[in-house]
Amino acid sequence: MPESKLVDNLDLDNYKYGFVDSESHVYRTKPGLDESIVRDISRQKEEPDWMLQFRLKAFKIYESKPMPTWGGDLSDLEATLDEIYFYVKPQEQTERSWEDVPDKIKNTFERLGIPEAEQKSLAGVGAQYESEMVYHSLKEEWASKGVIFDSIEDGLKNHPELFKEHFGTVIPIADNKFSALNAAVWSGGSFVYIPKGVHLDTPLQAYFRVNQEKMGQFERTLIIVEEGAHATYVEGCTAPVYSTDSFHSGVIEIVVKKDARFRYTTIQNWSNNMYNLVTQRAVVQENATMEWLDGNLGSKLTMKYPSCYLMGKGAHGSIMSIAYAGPGQHQDTGGKVVHAAENTTSSIISKSISKEDGRSTYRGLCKVHEGAKGSRSNVECDALLINDTSRTDTYPYIEVDEKQANVGHEATVSKVGDEQLFYLKNRGLSEEEAMGLVVRGFLEPIAKELPLEYAVELNRLIEMEMEGSVG
Amino acid sequence: MVEQKDPKDWTRVATLDQCLPGNLFGVQVGSLKIVLANVDGTIYALEDQCSHQDLPLSDGYLEDDQVECIYHGARFNICTGTATSLPAIKPVATFNVDIRGGDIYVQSVE
Amino acid sequence: MADNSTYHSWLNEKRSHAWSVYQSTPTPTTKSEEWRYTDLAKLFPLEQITLEMGLVDSTQRPNREDLIEATNTAGRIQLTDGLVTNIQVDPAVDSQGVGLDSIQNTTHEKYQEIIRTNLCSHVLPPESGKFQALNAALWKDGVVIYVPKNVHVKMPIRGKHTLSTGNSAVCARTLIIAEEGSHVSYVEEFHSDDFSNKSMVSSSVEVVAHRNASVDFVSVQNLGRGIFFQVAQKSLVHRDACVNTLNVNLGSSLSRLDLNTRLLEPGANSKMLGLYFGDKDQHFDHNTSQDHLAPHTRSDLLYKGALDGNSRAAFRGIIRVHSGAQQSDAYQTNRTLLLSEQARADSLPNLEIEADDVKCSHGSTVGQLDPETIFYLLSRGFSRQQAERLIVLGFLGDVMTKLPHGAFRRVVKNVTDAVEQKLRHG
């Protein structure tokens, strides 16, 4: 097995991104949240008044909304939210040159492999440390074609009209309690604009790192893909392991215009003390394609359901999702597709693995509005359970208000078959190798869609997590 | 809340002081729920059921000529009922309103 | 004849308890997950019917006689407005100690004891929900079926519910206790005229199948319009026992069925079948659950429906494989055909799995008549209407092929006729 040989040579810490840097920041708000902190964040960012008003309205809505009673266990979150820092500013500005990033932060990202990744000819790279993007760069080739890849703050400063036209239109403040919270305290994230007809042949990549203990990260990303444009965006997330809980709540809004094509890939590998409650939604216009590729491996609890609103005729949405719930983890993930126009198509493929007392939940929606004639949607969920204490749930909502539509959902739950293991062991594999192979085979249809370095990463993780799972 | 009907199918549903400027007020006519909205003294009436998840719009708030659903942020134009923000896509029904003295009448569609 | 006053005062105590539960339980709204697709305030405001706790006049005793020339029926029981009026039992079945009686008016001490132990308590307590409490408070009468150990009742027992008047709430209960190694099947039908006033028919069904027993339960609902048909069915299935249910839902304006099977011990198994056909402004809401509480248990659910006119159906089903219920097989399928532009289907097939060594799957589809099949039938000389009718009947009939053969031939025919009639008028 060449792959397992490869893995043998690697340092298999349980969580290799768990290292901590000493705290360093130029400014941070006091722990907890009140209106003065919302005003303070806005002041720090020297925002126009409309944005302050937006934040204040959001804060009111956030306070009025009850904690969700569905999904994961949020009973300890209220207490966590009283203790965390909602805004931590690591440096004065977003740097354009890697050389200008402070050494300490630079070292962190180097350990996470960022300059390396950049060498692999990415179109652009952004890196968020605590609450701010510390680094953002875009290759000149793309900048000259009018592509914008900025921190969200620079997006607001430099492209105010474009920004205001789309900001908060895909995900309204009141969508859910955490979209309201993000709208009140957002900081960091990317502003992306791909002009008409421009085809990016390499991805834009963003890294999110939380270093500070008891930290809340609230990035906000707005992506506008103009007619006929093509692009791919990749985000990766990691954090140190602390004994206290941290919180991440992003809002990602995407507009994919006529004939455009966009893929958003997430490899979430937060440490196991992180609440990860994210709202991601794309509006997909005529004949455009939106693809979410969502890998949830880390965190204590993730609640995340990327969605596609298929608003134009012939629009297509695809959601591919992998979830791994190890000991103490709950991955409550899935996807939503809303068919609001004729001949729209969608597909959701979800694969989850639960190990020990890990719990993975698929929660999804497929809605076909009246008039969305000729729409088709297919949902497939497969869950693999490793131990007798593992748990999986499937909650698909199917709502069809149009006769000329075909919607199908299927889900299966299984364990790794003894016959499969027996066969592979007879072929000379150890039990653990056999288990790893079966699990990789299970994930393969989605894993093959991942960028190479992430596919390797996923394999490595599976290898590591399957150790000692047999017996 | 149902009061006497007059021959033209108008139903008295509230008094003006129950729905002050800038506010929403929910009423029920038979099995139909209606939300009244007062924009600078002009009363509008919409079906009190968000087209997104059928939750009551009267729990939300009025912003200029838009009613915003408290539950998921959907918005509707109060004159036309058109959905102006996701997650709503479909419109909600609108009703004719008449003010007689201090009373608000809505034209029944039943 | 035994003095029933102690028994009746006991029943009335149970009723008053249920009434207080009913009053303290809030009316479900669409904000609650289980009522997401059924807005009672809009479809059937409870305020518009008079609800009074049912204290029963026990002087009206049902007429009881032997069933003569019964070739395909073991017994018949007739209920009018929820009151048992007529009971006929095959003397051969009667002599085996099989009980078929009115719950309210049984004078048989054995059945009274069975009722005391099981009614509205460990199977379906009033605390299960607003309507479960309502039924437990308002029921006037119902059917008790008791099958002693190792007795096999070959032919089905038939129950018939009719309604004489609208603007009322009729609540009935059914209690089926099958002792170890016994078998029984019960087919109940609900019929009525259309009513312009809103009326409610509520049915609570409690089934207990003890070790190695088997119970088949079939319910066919073809009530008139204007009626809210509310059902709560719960089955407890013990070791190696089997409870199969078929719920056919064709009539009424609004129907809500809460159906739960609990597989309590190894070897327990259950088939849950359902069929519905909606037209005009009918609204159906099926809420099913399959609870696997022990290893080596099996459940298989299939609900199929066709929706015409403005009709709407919601299906919410859940399989729960509880921790430790290893080697369970659980399946769940919901398929809906939309026959008109205005019809709407919502489907939520849920899974909660807390054991790893299980075979578990579910599927749900919503779609239209397959144009290729229609095309084929047209090319074979069928009219479009005939072709559509054939496809719908074939699609729904599939559910009934899962019933045990023979005993339910008449049900299959009645249901097919009723569906055909709806198709003609649709």
Give me C240's structure tokens: 């190696």
Q: Which long-range contacts (CB under 8 A, 24 or more apart) does C127-132 make?
A: C127/C21, C128/C232, C128/C234, C128/C258, C129/C25, C129/C28, C129/C232, C129/C258, C130/C22, C130/C25, C130/C26, C130/C27, C130/C28, C131/C202, C131/C230, C131/C232, C131/C256, C131/C258, C132/C204, C132/C232, C132/C258
Quote the CA–CA distance of A17 and A13 in Å, as a whole number.
Answer: 9
Please tell me the total count of domains within chain B: 1
Structure confidence at residue C208 as a pLDDT band (50, 70, 90): very high
- Whether B68 is covered by a domain: the verdict is yes
Which carries the bigger pLDDT value, residue C405 or residue C211?
Answer: C211
| Count of CA atoms in the C-beta half-sphere (13 A) of A425 | 11
- Whether B1 is covered by a domain: the verdict is no
**Where in the sequence is the domain holding B101, given as residue range(s)?**
10-107
Query: What is chain A's mean pLDDT, rounded?
Result: 88
What proportion of chain A, given as a percentage, has pLDDT over 70? 92
DSSP letters along C209-276, please? E-TT-EEEEEEEEEPPTTEEEEEEEEEEE-TT-EEEEEEEE--SSEEEEEEEEEE-STT-EEEEEEEE
| Rg of chain B over all Cα atoms, to the nearest angstrom | 13
Q: Is A403 on the interface with C (CB under 8 A)?
A: yes
Write down the H helix ranges in A65-102.
77-83
- Whether B86 is covered by a domain: the verdict is yes
Cα separation values, A253 from A181, A194, A304, B18, Å: 15, 14, 14, 39
Q: Which chain C residues have a beta carbon less than 8 Å from that of A412?
A: 360-361
Q: How far is C376 from chain A (nearest CA, A)?
A: 19
Indicate whether C91 pLDDT > 70: yes
Answer yes or no: pTM beyond 0.90. no
Determine the pLDDT at residue A13. 35
- Report CB contact under 8 Å: C338, A403: yes
Q: Pick from A387, A403, A408: which is nearest to C368 by CB?
A: A403
Cβ partners under 8 Å of residue C339, min gap 6: A403, C306, C307, C308, C368, C369, C388, C392, C426
Quote the CA–CA distance of C407 and C399 in Å, as a whole number.
Answer: 16
Q: How far is B6 from chain C (nearest CA, A)?
A: 23
Which carries the bigger pLDDT value, residue C425 or residue B48?
Answer: B48
Quote the CA–CA distance of B32 and B9 in Å, as a whole number.
Answer: 14
Determine the pLDDT at residue A6. 30
Helices vs. strands in chain C: H and E counts, helices first: 8, 20
Cα separation values, A168 from A260, A280, C177, C393, C403, Å: 21, 12, 59, 49, 54
Quote the CA–CA distance of C305 and C347 in Å, as a whole number.
Answer: 11
| Rg of chain A over all Cα atoms, to the nearest angstrom | 22
Question: What are the domain boundaries of chain A?
Answer: 17-417, 418-471
Indicate whether C181 pLDDT > 90: yes
Q: Pick from C340, C353, C366: which is nearest to A385 by CB?
A: C353
The mean-pLDDT minimum among A106-110, A345-349, C200-204, C361-365 falls in: A106-110
Residue-level length of chain C: 426
Q: How far is A421 from chain C (nearest CA, A)?
A: 14
The vertex-C287 CA angle with C284 and C291, nearest 5°, equals 160
Q: Pick from A368, A399, A409: which is nearest to C349 by CB?
A: A409
Indicate whether C264 pLDDT > 90: yes
Q: Is C23 exposed, middle or buried (0-12, 13-18, 19+ CB in 10 A)?
A: exposed
Q: What is the pLDDT of residues C312-349, one digit of tens each?
A: 999 999 999 999 999 999 999 999 999 999 999 999 99
Give me A186's structure tokens: 């957002």
- Report CB contact under 8 Å: C343, A403: yes
Domain at B58, CATH number: 2.102.10.10
Q: What is the pLDDT of residues C287-317, one digit of tens each?
A: 999 999 999 999 999 999 999 999 999 999 9
Q: Which chain C residues have a beta carbon less than 8 Å from that of B31?
A: 41-43, 45
What angle do helix axes C409-425 and C384-400 make, rounded to 10 degrees?
150
Indicate whether B76 pLDDT > 50: yes
The residue in chain A having the minimum alpha-carbon distance to the alpha carbon of residue B72 is A175
- Report CB contact under 8 Å: B54, C30: yes
Q: Pick from C30, C36, C42: which is nearest to B31 by CB?
A: C42
Structure confidence at residue A4 as a pLDDT band (50, 70, 90): very low
Cis peptide before C148 (omega within 30 of 0): no
Q: Pick from C30, C36, C45: which is nearest to B31 by CB?
A: C45
- Whether B4 is covered by a domain: the verdict is no
Looking at residue A298, the DSSP 8-state letter turns out to be -
Q: Is C336 on the interface with A (CB under 8 A)?
A: yes
DSSP letters along B1-28, please? ---PBPTTSEEEEEEGGGS-TT-EEEEE
Give me C40's structure tokens: 């009672």
Q: Pick from A70, A390, A396: which is nearest to C349 by CB?
A: A396
ipTM here: 0.84
Query: What mean pLDDT comes out for the span B13-35?
Result: 90
- Whether B76 is covered by a domain: the verdict is yes
- Report CB contact under 8 Å: A281, B73: no
Q: Is B31 on the interface with C (CB under 8 A)?
A: yes
The SS3 assignment for A248 reads strand
Give the amino acid at C398: D
Indicate whether A357 pLDDT > 70: yes
Determine the pLDDT at residue A241. 78
Q: How far is B71 from chain A (nearest CA, A)?
A: 6
Give me C180's structure tokens: 């170890």
Cβ partners under 8 Å of residue A428, min gap 6: none
The residue in chain B having the minimum alpha-carbon distance to the alpha carbon of residue C31 is B55
C partners (3+ CB pairs within 8 A) are A, B
Contact B40, B64 (CB under 8 A): no
Q: Is B17 on the interface with A (CB under 8 A)?
A: no
- Whether B31 is covered by a domain: the verdict is yes
Write down the H helix ranges in chain B.
none
Contact B56, B26 (CB under 8 A): yes
- Whether B77 is covered by a domain: the verdict is yes
Quote the CA–CA distance of B76 and B71 in Å, as a whole number.
Answer: 13
Determine the pLDDT at residue A118. 64
Query: What mean pLDDT comes out for the span B79-105?
Result: 94
Q: Is C329 on the interface with A (CB under 8 A)?
A: no
Q: Is B110 on the interface with C (CB under 8 A)?
A: no
